[in-house]
Amino acid sequence: MVDKIAYPVQLIQPDGLRVFRPDYTSLVRDIRPDQLRDLYEDLVVARRMDVEAVALQRQGELGLWAPLLGQEAAQVGSARALRPDDYAFISYREHAVAYCRGVDPGVMTRMWRGCAHSAWDPSSVNVTNPAIVVGSQGLHATGYAMGAHLDGAEIATIAYFGDGATSQGDLAEALGFSMSFNAPVVFFCQNNQFAISEPVHLQSPVPIAQRAAGYGMPALRVDGNDVLAVLAVTRQATQRAREGSGPTFIEAITYRMGPHTTSDDPTRYRAAAETEIWKARDPIDRMRRLLDREGLLGEEFLARVQATADAVAARLRSGTVEAPDPAPLDLFDHVYSTDHPLIDEEREQYAAYLAGFAGIEEALS
């Protein structure tokens, strides 16, 4: 039996050659040329969307953005393993997961522009809005999974989080609780090597997946830049969850090629040489090499992928710059689902404050 922590699952080498691992290759046997091409398109679209959003932030249209550059395969592979009725709890970097779940790229930046509390209706696509509270996704997913299980639904719930989040108490509680109650959750950790400036070796002296093994949870590592391997392991884990076999912890080993957010400067804490090493493992290049080796690339196909990616990016841009500014008092809406005296009082105070500016614009003009 292969040690799944010491030997991460890989189905495509960086040079595009397939790796034969009977236990995992069989899980993606149905992925034929057209589906391989679709996965490639998802990867390219994800990167194109991300590049557009970073540009929008630099142009002053967004307050902040958390780039996913380098993590496309981890996100696309895992999201494409989900069924429509499965549910994903994301953090702030999973733009490709949101895209694969069917979130309209035109609303994807709403929270980052600061013009909406919630960018999309989570229940319409079974994916939550971005959540900045590190590690909260584990508990939310566990609670949702338990509820679904008690309702008799045969679905999987997946929690996305980073390597840094595994040091949060919330995650520890989620792992412990879900093991005790056999909650149908997949804990999907994207180990992108950093928690802002903290390298993963400071986060944990042992592989991150080993932390889950300490709870008695089945845990494995996967090459997170290999979209097929990620698809295979997530299919397996979600199937276990749906069948009532309980939680699984997946550590997808990847690399954040860009900054933590658009407010971060990674050159202050990591060497350029390291980033160069990971460029050679670029998830999109790898998939492209596989398609090339298998005779699936062509001018027409590549042009079509580029056109789709450009159209998605254009939608993301127009949705951003055309998003209506909310009225200032909207800030107090939806804090609670019902009226609340404290919120009412604060709304009144703020309304009075705003009224103090009445007529000022005309007076100044």
Ligand X SMILES: Cc1ncc(C[n+]2csc(CCOP(=O)(O)OP(=O)(O)O)c2C)c(N)n1
State the residues that interact with ligand X by CB under 6 A.
93, 132-134, 161-165, 192, 194-196, 256, 260
Distances (CA, A) of 78 to 107, 278, 301: 22, 20, 24
Distances (CA, A) of 7 to 4, 185, 207, 220, 291: 5, 23, 11, 9, 25
User: Is 260 labeled as catalytic in the residue annotation?
Assistant: yes
Q: How far apart are CA 341 and CA 62, in angstroms?
A: 33
Q: How far apart are CA 75 and CA 284, in angstroms?
A: 12
Minimum Å gap between C-beta 93 and ligand X is 5
Minimum Å gap between C-beta 329 and ligand X is 27
Which residue lies nearer to ligand X by CB, 238 or 254? 254
User: What six digits make up the tokens of 324?
Assistant: 């209506």
CA atoms lying within 13 Å on the CB side of residue 166: 29
Which residue lies nearer to ligand X by CB, 260 or 317? 260
Which residue lies nearer to ligand X by CB, 132 or 354? 132
Q: Of 238, 236, 247, 90, whose CA–CA distance to 177 is shortest? A: 247
The set of residues, in sequence order, having a beta carbon less than 8 Å from that of 32 and lying 6+ positions away, is none
Minimum Å gap between C-beta 100 and ligand X is 18
Minimum Å gap between C-beta 344 and ligand X is 29
Strands 248-253 and 198-199: unpaired
Q: Mapping DSSP to helix (H, G, I), strand (E, B) and coil, where does residue 19 land?
A: coil
Q: Which of 95, 149, 260, 288 is catalytic?
A: 260
Minimum Å gap between C-beta 92 and ligand X is 7
| Closest-approach residue to ligand X (CB) | 162
Q: Mapping DSSP to helix (H, G, I), strand (E, B) and coil, where does residue 221 land?
A: strand
Q: Which of 48, 113, 256, 289 is catalytic?
A: 256
Q: Of 94, 3, 105, 133, whose CA–CA distance to 49 is shortest? A: 105
The set of residues, in sequence order, having a beta carbon less than 8 Å from that of 237 and lying 6+ positions away, is 156, 186, 248, 250
User: Is 256 labeled as catalytic in the residue annotation?
Assistant: yes
Which residue lies nearer to ligand X by CB, 33 or 199? 199
Q: In sequence order, which ranges of 248-298 are alpha helices (DSSP H)?
A: 272-279, 283-293
Minimum Å gap between C-beta 316 and ligand X is 20
Which residue lies nearer to ligand X by CB, 106 or 162? 162
User: Is 269 labeled as catalytic in the residue annotation?
Assistant: yes
Which residue lies nearer to ligand X by CB, 140 or 149? 140
Active-site residue list: 256, 260, 269
